[in-house]
Chains A and B, each alone.
Chain A
Amino acid sequence: MLFMHETHRVIGRHASAFEDVYRDEWMGALAAGGDARLVWYLNHAMGSGPAYQVVTVTACSDGQAWEALAQRTLGGDLAAMASRLDSYRYEVEGKLLTPVAWSALQDVDLEKVPADGRQHELSLYMQDTGWPDAPLDDYIELWDQDYWQHMRKIPEEKKLLDIVACFQVARGSGIRPEAILMQKIMNFSTLGHLLTSVEKHDPSTWPGSYMAKGLELRDQWESKLLRTSSWSPLW
């Protein structure tokens, strides 16, 4: 399965219109076919980064399904809708992601993804994107052995976050080396502590040991705090 990850720089005065088209038209149009679904609609939380940025993730069953969706968008039945979306944003930057072997999320049952805009409470995700200066495979293995394996053992009540998915960029559709973690924030007070506490790099404590080891493979990553819309199919 492929995950089409798009970051939209939305024109601020058209932000509501942009979201309306996604919710009321785009999501339903994708659901009319059997091979692609909008799965996440996320707003980059204002106050934590750029303004009026939206991240969408669309699941496609395979490469053929992605190509068919792309061609519908460029010159097919979705072109007029896409043109309206274009007029509501400055640009969109996309990449195609595949789950790494140990990712909890591998496939999405497209038939079960809601497309009716049903309401729910909001969720907050921390999306981490890392660019190692070592072979990409080594970085993905570090995330597995020293981060995912550790985090999954933390009791639910103490968890800051749940690692929902880990992706790498499918060759030719973005940056290599790059890998991405989609992490659902489970405890807002712990997040507050993370944001306001002074970093300590004690190798014997988390995140110290992981932080120290991680520096052998990379020192550049970016975290984005993304909040689902109240109708995002996954949240």
Chain B
Amino acid sequence: MLFVHEVHTVVGKRADQFEDAYRHGWMPVLAESSDARLLWYFDHAHGSGPAYRVVTVTGVADGAAWLRLAQRVATGDLRMWARHLDGLQHDSRGRILTPLVWSPTIPPLADIPTEPVEHEPTMYMEDTMWPFPGKVGEYIEAAGAVYRPALGAEGSHVNMSIELALQTMPGAGRHPEVTLLQKLSSLPLLIRLLTNDIPDEVTGPDSWMHQALDLRDQWRSKLLRTATWSPLS
């Protein structure tokens, strides 16, 4: 499975219409074939970054399924839907991602809900990293061996789990680039992370924070909140 990750800069006055276009347009139309499913619909939490940003993640079976979908948008039955969306967003920036070897998996596309099912919103921290030239392989290996288990360890400073670990496909975004989609399970721990300096034991010479600086020193975190009808939460 491949993941089409899109960041939409939405026209503020038309934010509700934009969401409707995905909820009542994109999601059910994709359900008519087995090629693709809308997986997540996120709002970038206001107060933590840019305004009126929406992140959508669409799962596609493979490269052939993705191109069939892209051609439906360019010249087929989804062309008018896309034209409608052009009036609701300033732009969207997409990339196509593939799971890392150690990534957790999500349910098969056939099991993804295609009807809006109301649920509580869920917070995610999406981290995107850009390893140094020639270091992406080492970074991926270290993140799987050191970072991932540390998140679930007792005493972890932020309680979250990696739902997907991905890298950007050549030709479909920036490279080298790694993206972690992490579900937050404790709001108090997130607030503590945001309001306190990082403890010395987390940044000391033997820590992941310190050692990983040999592999990358630039990343970006986004706090994303699922819509109450997002297929995955």
Contacts and interface: CB of A to CB of B under 8 A. Distances in A.
A64 B75 contact: no
Given A86-B133, A174-B93, A96 B64 contact: no
Nearest to B175: A92
A171 B63 contact: no
Interface residues of chain A: helix, strand, loop or mixed (majority): mixed
* Size range of the chain B interface in the assembly: 35 or more
Contacts of B176: 86, 91
Given A4-B171, A74-B169, A94-B173, A63 B98 contact: no
A11 B98 CA distance: 27
A16 interface: no
Interface stretch (B46-54, B65-73, B108-116): B65-73
User: Looking at B68, B82, B134, B170, which has the most chain A CB atoms within 10 Å of its CB?
Assistant: B170
A93 B174 contact: yes
A94 B170 CA distance: 7
A186 interface: no
Interface residues of chain B: helix, strand, loop or mixed (majority): mixed
Contact of B171 (A66, A137, A176): A66
B62 A171 contact: no
A172 B70 contact: yes
Contacts of A65: 63
A70 B74 contact: no
A135 interface: yes
Contacts of B6: 172
Contact of A58 (B73, B130, B171): B171
Contacts, number: 149
A70 B137 contact: no
* Size range of the chain A interface in the assembly: 35 or more
A74 B98 CA distance: 10
B66 A90 contact: no
B64 A70 contact: no
A121 to B, nearest CB: 29
A171 B171 contact: no
A170 interface: yes
A98 interface: yes
A136 interface: yes
A209 interface: no
A86 B73 CA distance: 33
A175 B91 contact: yes
Given A83-B137, A171-B69, A68 B63 contact: yes
Interface string A167-201: 01111111111100000000000000000000000
B66 A92 contact: no
A89 interface: yes
29 contacts: A6-B171, A62-B63, A63-B65, A63-B66, A69-B170, A70-B63, A70-B169, A70-B172, A71-B98, A86-B134, A92-B170, A92-B175, A94-B170, A94-B173, A96-B96, A96-B171, A98-B71, A136-B83, A168-B74, A171-B4, A172-B4, A172-B6, A172-B58, A172-B66, A172-B96, A173-B172, A176-B86, A177-B86, A178-B91
Interface of B: 2, 4-6, 58, 62-71, 73-75, 79, 82-83, 86-87, 90-96, 98, 101, 130, 133-134, 136-137, 167, 169-176
Interface of A: 2, 4-6, 11, 58, 62-71, 73-75, 82-84, 86-96, 98, 101, 131, 133-137, 168-178
